[in-house]
């Protein structure tokens, strides 16, 4: 990410912060739900989209982060401590889940993550002192750097801030030796090994960093929903996250945010529509089917996701209208035109 993109990102974040007080509670809720999911999607995209390790236990990892943050917060710690602690615990669990990747490749590894997902779900019900079993762990509001931000707007500010920091950190990471190795391993593990890359160690770093981000995302989720319960972190959540990064764009940073927004908001919109037509239950049941269908359609027709669709549309608009109007359009109007086209 160039300096220009970082500045744009921070400007957008500040703009969100400024309009936050003007948003209603529902608006603030939407902002933080999307931002938290974006952090989780970013974590998964780092692992799948950049390092090529397909994982179906991301929902379970978010759960680990949620329980860890909840326990640390309930012990009277600051939310910052709880989130970092959740990141560290989840990074550790993620590395454990990643160990089979040293032996297994592709779909075989993906199946081992499926097993990990079910083991985690089982543990969430089993380890009652930490998880309170099926009834779930209630989580007390915690101060953030000593401030009381336990309301929708506060959460939105924290989540957007954390998302921006994560985006910048991951984009910088991708421009280090480690990040380049991730991409090399995704493109060809055999070539990477032949070139002298320590594939095993590189993969474990990918799991650790992805796990850290997933843990923070899960932790925030726990604080905002005030409860961590096993049914919230089931396989369906893992599938949702895979859908996010496929729809948004594998190996694309904006794609993680676009995908998260899409997958989180689509059910909201569907529910609204369902309510107006008095068929809320039917549309809710359609949800998973629609996501499954979307994954397949995107994999076949647009493997690089909405992000590449959007940038291609922008490029085409530039080209067709280029000779007619030489004046530079602002990127804001470009975006509007793209949306109009979509």
Contact residues for another protein, defined by CB under 8 A: 172-173, 175-178, 180-181, 183-184, 187-188, 191-199, 251
Whole-number minimum distance, CB 172 to another protein, in Å?
A: 5
Name the strand (E) or helix (H) holding 137: strand 137-138
Q: Give the whole-angstrom CA distance, residue 196 versus residue 101.
A: 18
User: Going along 211-316, which residue ranges are E strands?
Assistant: 227-228
User: Going along the chain, which residue ranges are E strands?
Assistant: 137-138, 227-228
Backbone phi, then psi, for 138, in 5-degree steps? -80, 140
Whole-number minimum distance, CB 206 to another protein, in Å?
A: 14
Smaller CB separation from another protein, 8 or 191: 191
Whole-number minimum distance, CB 44 to another protein, in Å?
A: 18
Smaller CB separation from another protein, 132 or 304: 304
Token duo for residue 199: 């594939």
Q: Contact, 99 vs 207, CB < 8 A? A: no
Backbone phi, then psi, for 185, in 5-degree steps? -65, -40
Whole-number minimum distance, CB 54 to another protein, in Å?
A: 17
Dmax over CA atoms of the chain, in Å, equals: 69
Q: Give the whole-angstrom CA distance, residue 99 versus residue 96.
A: 5
Whole-number minimum distance, CB 180 to another protein, in Å?
A: 5
Smaller CB separation from another protein, 192 or 216: 192
Smaller CB separation from another protein, 146 or 196: 196
Among 96, 137, 112, CA closest to 230: 137
Whole-number CA gyration radius for the chain: 20
Backbone phi, then psi, for 144, in 5-degree steps? -110, 110
Smaller CB separation from another protein, 170 or 216: 170
Q: Give the whole-angstrom CA distance, residue 273 versus residue 317.
A: 32
Smaller CB separation from another protein, 123 or 168: 168
Smaller CB separation from another protein, 177 or 342: 177
Whole-number minimum distance, CB 71 to another protein, in Å?
A: 31
Whole-number minimum distance, CB 196 to another protein, in Å?
A: 3
């Amino acid at each position: 990410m160039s300096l220009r993109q970082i500045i744009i990102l921070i400007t957008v974040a500040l703009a969100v912060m400024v309009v936050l007080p003007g948003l209603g509670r529902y608006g603030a809720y939407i902002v933080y739900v999307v931002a938290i999911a974006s952090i989780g999607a970013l974590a998964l995209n780092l692992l799948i989209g950049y390092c090529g390790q397909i994982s179906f236990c991301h929902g379970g990892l978010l759960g680990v982060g949620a329980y860890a943050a909840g326990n640390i917060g309930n012990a009277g710690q600051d939310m910052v401590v709880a989130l970092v602690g959740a990141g560290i615990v989840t990074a550790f669990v993620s590395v454990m889940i990643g160990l089979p990747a040293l032996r297994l490749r592709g779909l075989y590894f993906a199946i081992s993550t499926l097993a990990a997902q079910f083991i985690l779900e089982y543990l969430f019900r089993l380890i009652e002192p930490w998880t309170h079993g099926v009834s779930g762990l209630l989580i007390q509001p915690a101060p953030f750097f000593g401030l009381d931000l336990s309301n929708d707007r506060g959460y939105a500010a924290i989540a957007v801030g954390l998302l921006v920091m994560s985006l910048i950190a991951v984009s910088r990471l991708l421009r280090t030796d480690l990040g380049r190795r991730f991409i090399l391993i995704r493109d060809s593990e055999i070539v990477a090994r032949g070139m002298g890359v320590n594939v095993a160690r590189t993969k474990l770093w990918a799991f650790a960093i992805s796990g850290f981000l997933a843990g923070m995302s899960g932790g925030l989720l726990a604080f905002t929903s005030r409860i961590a319960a096993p049914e919230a972190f089931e396989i369906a959540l893992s599938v949702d996250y895979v859908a996010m990064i496929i729809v948004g764009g594998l190996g694309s940073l904006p794609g993680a945010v676009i995908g998260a927004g899409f997958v989180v908001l689509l059910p909201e919109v569907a529910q609204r529509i369902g309510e107006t037509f008095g068929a809320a239950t039917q549309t809710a049941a359609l949800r998973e089917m629609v996501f499954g269908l979307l994954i397949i359609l995107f994999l076949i027709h647009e493997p690089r996701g909405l992000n590449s669709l959007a940038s291609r549309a922008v490029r085409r608009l530039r080209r067709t209208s280029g000779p007619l109007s030489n004046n530079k359009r602002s990127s804001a109007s470009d975006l509007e035109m793209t949306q109009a086209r979509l």
